Amino acid sequence: MKTCLLLAATLLAGAASVRAADAPDDGGPAVVPYRPSVSTPAQLSAPGYLELEAGGLRATDNGVSRTSIPYTLKLAFTPDWGVRVGGEAWVRQAAPGVAQTGVGDTQLVLKRRFEVSDASAWGLELGETFPTARTSIGLGHAATTVNGIFSSDFAPAWHADINVNETHLGGQPGAWQLGWAAAFSRTLTDAWGAVGELSGTHQAGAADTAQLLAAASWNQSPAAVFDFGFARGLTDATPHWQVFAGVTVRLGKVF
C-alpha cells in the first residue's frame, strides 16, 4: 500500500507532463529543474513561461513514515528576476497506531540572479513559509528564509550549486536555523544526467541534520525532465531513507 501511494503520486505528476512529453519539440525553451536536490541553482526558468515541478516522496525513520506530493510553480519575469510558489499538495504522516493526512505548508519565494560570466552566477532568494498545514504535519507557524546561491559550470559536463541559508522560525522567538547544501551534477548523455548532494541544518538547542542524496534525470524533451533517486540520513535527527520520483514540465507561455 505504501509503495502504491508513492507510485500514484508519481503517476499524478507524470500525467501533468503527458502533453509536453509526447509532443514534438516546439522550439520552446528547455525547462530548468530545481528538483530533486535540496539546493536550487542561480539560474531561473525561461522568462514568461510557467513551469511545474511535482512528484512523490516517501521518508522513513524508525517506524515513522511520511508520504507526500511536493509541488512547485515557477515563473521568471526576466533572466534575473522570478518567483515560485511551492509546498506539499498532500501529506500522510504515520507512526505506530496513529496517522495524519492533509495539505502541507506553502512557501512563496522571490529570486534574484547576478550573472558573473557565461559559466557562473550568484543568486539570492527571499522566502516566506505560510502554515497552511495542521501543526502535526507542518511547521505550525510562519518562517522566513534568506538563501544565498553560487552556481558554476566546471570541467566538461559538470555543474555545481552551493546554497547557504538562514531561516527565522516564527514560532520560536529568536530561533534561527542555518541550512547548507552542495550539489554536483554531470551530463552523461544528451538525455541522461546524474546528481549527488550533501545537505544539512544546524540550530542551537536542536540536533544537527545531514543527508546524502543521489538521483538521475531523463530529458524526455525540452519541455519535460523526469527524475528519480534516494537520500540517506547521516545523523539520528535525519530520516534514515527517502525515495522520490517526479517531473519538471513546461506548462505554457504566460507573457
For the segment 56-81, what is each residue's pLDDT rounded down to a tens digit? 999 999 889 999 999 999 999 999 99
Question: pLDDT of 155-214, one tens digit each?
Answer: 899 999 999 999 999 877 669 999 999 999 999 999 999 999 999 999 998 999 999 999
Amino acid letter, residue 142:
A
Specify burial of residue 222 (Cβ count, 10 A radius: 0-12, 13-18, 19+): middle
pTM confidence score: 0.90
Residue ranges of domains in the chain, CATH in brackets:
2-253 (2.40.160.40)
Question: pLDDT of 77-124, one tens digit each?
Answer: 999 999 999 999 999 999 988 999 999 999 999 999 999 999 999 999
Separation CA 66–CA 76 (nearest Å): 31
To which residue does cell 505560510 refer?
Answer: 130
**Cα-flanking dihedrals φ and ψ of residue 6, to 5°?**
-65, -40
Say whether pLDDT at 21 is over 50.
no
Helix (H) or strand (E) holding 76: strand 64-76
Instruction: Please give the pLDDT value at position 7.
Output: 46
Exposure string of 196-215, with b = 16+ CB inside 10 Å and e = fewer, is: ebbbbbebeeeeebbbebeb
